[in-house]
Structure 1
Amino acid sequence: MKEILQKLDKLSTARPLEIIRKKKEGSKVVEFFGDFVPEQWITAAGAESYLIMKGGDPQPPEATLDYMLRFMNPLAASMAGSYLLGLDAIMPIADSVTIQQHDSHYGRMTEILEYKGLPVYKVGVPADYTVDISREYYRHELREFRAMLENLVGHPISDDDIRANYAKTNRINELLRKIDELRKQDNPPITFSDFIKLNHYTLRLDYDTSIEALEQIYEELKNAPGAHAADAPRILIMGRAVALGDYQVPTIIENAGGSIVCEFLDEAIRPFKNDISTEGDVVDAYASAIYDNRVPQCIFQPAWETRFEHLKELIKEYRIDGVLWYQLAFDEIYDMEHTCLSKWIAETGVPLMKLESSYEYSREAVAPLTTRLESFVESLKEAK
């Protein structure tokens, strides 16, 4: 598996160069952010897609301070900051920078990109996801996005091509679910660090390459020995996102003898538990799978009680010993949810640790971070 991951990493790293080459050959380029922007449509249009999901570096958020208040979560700030620092090779050449508008952090960062003259397109995502008017509004936004894409590429997008892409992403989801199922074993054969990277690679690379790699990896893993120490404490990580490049925290936990066997994350991960129907209207199929019938994100309301019930199901299903609440700095809505969650989960007896990250991983910052995480893992070991 190591060789396959190394190959995927090289291909993922080379993806910007491939897009730049195809741009010179005449292809349209759409850089986008969020699950509520259908990547399958971009591909069906014949454009090159590139997902914004880079994190783990403190410099891009700092670069936004000339334009915006400090109090934006570092993942959202990285979106604009990477452009300002010249670290995003795709955004300057993109024909559209499409960003879902589901909370204020991304809305404010989008304003910076608009101010800098980039071709920003916004897809509105109502937080009140349970009411009919919100569901119809989101469908309207999807139809408007499709019209923008068709105008961009200069031809209609075929529903059959969209459905074919749904089928391919469903296959990717199926393979990720099969690999995820192996994590329920007493000693899972894959670490969280590798599993989240697999998700990130499939969000960067073309569908066929992703499917082939996942098929090979599953065949290797299904009879493979465990990747962790015997009887390692089983941890669930929950929060907004573990972004591409933000691997410091899970690495510390795994080095300390912990095993992150499950995640409950809202962004920067493929929604592999939600397949999209390949029948009927392509807009309704996407909205139904990704908006109507998915476990709601923290930003959605009402959501927290529903999310806690789902968390309890995951704790039981994956036999979780402890939960790590991984919160991005200044993410006030997640801070509010944590206040409720910490009270509710205390009644179950499952330990919960809150960790807040500003992507500051200097030597001075990593030392106390390591101590906290090692202590958490040790406490879980003692309780087993």
Structure 2
Amino acid sequence: MNAVASPSLEPSSPPPHALALPATTARQRVLAVGLVGPGRVGSALLDQLRTAQPRLARAGLDLALRGVAASRRMWLDTDDPELNGRDGGAQTWRPTDLDDFAAHLQGDGDRHALLVDCSASEAVASRYAQWLASGIHVVTPNKLAGSGPLPRLQAIRAACGGARFRYEATVCAGLPVVQTLRDLLDTGDELLAVEGMFSGTLAWLCHRHDGSRPFSALVREAHALGYTEPDPRDDLSGLDVARKLVILAREAGRPLSLEDVEVQSLVPPELAVLPREEALERLHLLDAPMARQVAHAQTRGSVLRHVASLDAKGHASVRLAMLPLSHPFAHTRLTDNVVQFTTHRYRDNPMLVQGPGAGPEVTAAGVFADLLRIAESLEVRR
């Protein structure tokens, strides 16, 4: 059995046949979709697909949900009348096996198949090259493929022949950051430097932290709002932001690895080693160091922002930066992500991409947009 080593939530009930469309016509493009990781982002994506289904059907696109795989169980749709009538039929869950899941999604090979990975699983990311080589398109917000071992990413890219790999939502949720960089490079521009606020969670915390409330209280509020990871230390460590910077650097042809990024964690060492539940109870350990930093910034008429940067010399860093009020990052709002590209064309006036960067809905929307870009390129199959 190939279990999905993922923190994704187990669904409380099997997904209904809400994505089953009427019989297709010769003019419709049919795309069999499988979802791995029905957690917050995956569930939001399923809701968006259901809502958009009638409009997409009128436009000639049939998105057929053929399976959902969680960490321990998976659900496979089937057109077999005998199986449909047995033990709850098509909505019977079984132990997760990624190989069986991919084979079922692809069917006998005469249909377009696309797998969406909304997990945060190494086990799933390690199969991308295999799936792409077999003709299955892959769309994901999972950052582990793009920021993990470079040979694995090179194998994934080499496997993209008839199938496509899209990962816009790995950086800044639904914002068109990867596509913007890709367009610049494809038209002959060259990336000189990139700087950005890549975490909607940390953007919100920096925006709200003015010294009037303890930083730990803001972290708890962000956690309650669903902005943070289940363990807020995953956001505060800066590692997730570093992964996004690596993805952008590699998109520009720079062989950056996670180990090359200088990361300043906001988590004190004594808090980093605690179990998650105990760490949540001791978030007050964040208060004193953060209070000192915000007070220092205020005395200089500056603001604190969590910034990732890759400079022209190739130095990569993730840190809490003190920025003057004249800096464009000083005027972001709420969970805004902002990315500044300095290129040969945009050397004197860098290009900015800015917008909301936290929450399952905006991340799911980025995944959905990638799915539609692939679907639009497909030919009609009877």
With normalisation by structure 2, the TM-score equals: 0.25
Compare the two structures and name the one with the higher helix fraction. 1
Work out which of the two has the higher radius of gyration on C-alpha atoms and give 1 or 2.
Answer: 2
TM-score (norm 1): 0.25
Structure with greater strand share of residues: 2
